[in-house]
């Protein structure tokens, strides 16, 4: 158990509340996550830092938007609703 260590609750052993990230320790059911993904979409973010001897050489910030696409939405490519993958399969 991690109780008594800095950054952990001494009674439960769980990570202590972090005011900078109030939703970091929020638990969510997988079905709720999938429902939100399919209805609204989600944004995934991440940071990668490559360092040698405590000197940051490269910092990469990644962001990805993942959402479902509805068939009745207009095509962002113009035309009659044809997308970039409509030609696959002899379209």
Contact 49, 56 (CB under 8 A): yes
pLDDT at 38: 76
Q: What's the CA gap between 21 and 58, in Å, rounded?
A: 24
Q: What's the CA gap between 13 and 5, in Å, rounded?
A: 8
pLDDT at 3: 45
pLDDT at 59: 93
Q: Kindly give, in sequence order, each residue whose CB lies less than 8 Å from that of residue 47, ignoring residues fewer than 6 positions away.
A: 59, 60, 61, 62
Structure tokens at 58: 């490269």
Domain boundaries, the chain: 30-66
Residue-wise pLDDT tens for the chain (91 aa)? 444 445 555 555 555 555 565 666 677 788 887 787 777 777 889 999 999 998 999 999 999 888 777 777 776 776 655 555 555 555 4
């Amino acid at each position: 158990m991690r109780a008594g260590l800095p950054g952990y609750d001494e009674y439960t052993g769980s990570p202590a509340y972090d005011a900078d990230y109030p939703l970091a320790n929020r638990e969510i059911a997988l079905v709720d996550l999938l429902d939100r993904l399919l209805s609204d979409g989600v944004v995934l973010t991440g940071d990668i830092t490559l360092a040698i001897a405590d000197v940051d050489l490269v910092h990469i910030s990644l962001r990805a938007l993942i959402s479902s696409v509805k068939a009745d939405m207009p095509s962002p490519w113009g035309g009659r609703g044809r997308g970039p993958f409509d030609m696959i399969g002899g379209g």
